[in-house]
Amino acid sequence: MRPTENQGELASDWVPAPADSHVARFRLLDRSASEFGASSEVWVEFKGGGKSHRPPAMYKYSFSSHDAARAVFDALAGSAHPGEVVDAQLKRGRVPYDRVS
């Protein structure tokens, strides 16, 4: 984790997903030390292509609990299939998200 330009934020480096995953990469933006009470975020970039020829897309998932964000990031990093973690913990868990690109 390295500091960002905003005080109290630490950002992980992008972690590449395995080649056979529909996830391209992911990272954690940890704001647990922020003085402003900002939520921590897990950013996920999905590969494009597939049967529907979708373009690549990036989403940020926001967590009010910094520990929950860290747990999801750790699960993504420890999984041979991070897309399954996205489905099980982010989508089914209804974690709030925004499309970034």
Give the C-alpha separation, 33 to 51, whole Å. Answer: 42
| Tens of pLDDT, residue by residue, the chain (101 residues) | 544 555 556 778 899 999 999 999 999 998 876 667 778 999 999 998 777 778 899 999 999 888 999 999 999 999 999 999 999 999 999 999 999 99
79: number of Cβ within 10 Å: 17
User: Following CA atoms 55, 12, 5, 99 in sequence, which dihedral angle do they give, to the nearest 10 degrees?
Assistant: 30
pLDDT the model gives residue 3? 46
Report pTM: 0.85
Give the C-alpha separation, 79 to 35, whole Å. Answer: 32
pLDDT the model gives residue 30? 86
Locate the domains of the chain by residue range.
2-99
